[in-house]
Amino acid sequence: MYEVTMPKLSDSMEVGKIIEWRVKPGDTVAAGDVLAEVESDKAAMELECFADGTIAEILHADGEEVPVGHVVAVIAEQGDQAAPAAAPPAEPKPEPAEQEPAATAPAKETPPPAPPPEPAPAPKPAPAPRPAAAAGERVAISPYARKLAAERGIDIAALQGTGPGGRIVAADVEAAAPAEAAARPPMQQRAMAPAAPAPPRPATKAPAAEPLAQVLADKRGIDLATLTGTGTAGRITVDDVLAAVEQVEKECDEHAIPPSADELLPAIEVREGEADVEDAPFRHRTQVRIVSASKHVVPHFYMTRGADVTALLARRAELKKSLGVSVTHLVLRACVQAIKANPKVNRSYDRGKIIAWRGIHVGIAIDAEGGLTVAVLRDAQDLSLADIVERTKALVDKARRGKLSADERRHPSVTVSNLGMFDVEHFQPIINPPSSVTLGVSSALDTPVVRGGKVEAGRVMKLTLSCDHRIVDGVVAAGFLKTLKDLLESPDTLLAAADASHGA
């Protein structure tokens, strides 16, 4: 059997939505066939098949949201044995006349008729839900699974855990919700029903533990029998339980659907006729989660500098005719050169690790039909200005058609957001992880500038750098921004660097 899982289609993707299945159980498929259309937080993609075989089972229907890595379908490969179907009992065949026992044989010696063939075994039923926990038995439960079960009125002790060590995780609650809701009697009826007799308490002796450790373990669903005590004579301490809680929550976070980012805010109560309300699209809700997490987790600081781009815009008018160059292309080129001079901005921070990227991968914020998306211009350090123009136009076209590949959205080491075409004077973008800096490019506005001690009319573009203070400090950010400003104010230097790169 080959399991088809929800793929990770972008850095920030944790949950994908199945838009439409292109196959059904029983269909024959081959490697390369399209199984379904899947939506990530960035775009809609086709889910391809990587094995030849037959669709044995589809586990999630159209419209369902599935965590990354969870199985969505099963393919039976050649040689796999399907469960035999139940067959009706075979009718006993009458014995032919010539095989009847001789009349002279004693009746008592007549052999009994052969029993009819036994019917083929029926498929094994699905495993029954886990019975309620026995008295004294502790069931390991993910904190988020417990919260989800409480919200949906699910008896969590009756679930079968599929997490590490049989731990009940959020996916178990999600899977059991429809069946539990249908089979469970009303709360009042359950309260009145007599409790089932508890099975005998197991004879195993619980490990010695501090009283507070026992209380904490009960509340957090930790089985003391699985812990090794670090206290006197192996006694389990509060620190032992807290360490187990931290480890279990870390494991369960990989399986759980993260809660909505706006759960901490009070709900907006809308009166009838006061507004039109509809469910936000999947991609929009995912973007809300990402930007909320970025703003909450990443310590932002901002730095702004104005660049006199009067000369650059004049050169751009010439280059537009020959190469189709836009202001965005020139900013991207300047950004790459500034990163080469200030490589410390081309790093990321992740869970105690510093990631120094070998290539310069520039993310470009694009306003696509399904919402804001980021296309990544990979290994931009090797591109000439003409290459940047060609590659960027192709990326923008694919982004607006929702056709970016996973590699074209993967790991931007720096992100550029240009709102200059909208007559914007200044804005502060939110950092787009794993980028450590996101550059906000505003409009080039008519502004008085001082040149050679004289005030003249000029075009000034404000550049705002949003920085991740975990990995970028003020000196590094200032150095990058100064280099970027100098390049944009000296088009000859910028274009000479582009020509040199093209010649190399």
**Where in the sequence numbering do the catalytic residues fall?**
469
Rounded distance between C-alpha atoms, residue 141 and residue 163, angstroms: 9
Rounded distance between C-alpha atoms, residue 456 and residue 454, angstroms: 6
User: Quick check: 29 and 53 in contact, CB under 8 A?
Assistant: yes
In eight-state DSSP terms, residue 119 is P
DSSP-derived secondary structure for 141-169: B-HHHHHHHHHHT--GGGSPP-SGGG-B-
**373 CB contacts (<8 Å, ≥6 apart)?**
42, 43, 365, 366, 399, 404, 409
- What backbone phi and psi angles, to 5 degrees, belong to 352? 85, 5
Of 44, 23, 48, give the one whose Cα is nearest residue 34. Answer: 48
Output the six-digit token pair for 86. Answer: 């139940």
Helix, strand or coil for residue 124? Answer: coil
**493 CB contacts (<8 Å, ≥6 apart)?**
486, 487
User: Quick check: 123 and 150 in contact, CB under 8 A?
Assistant: no
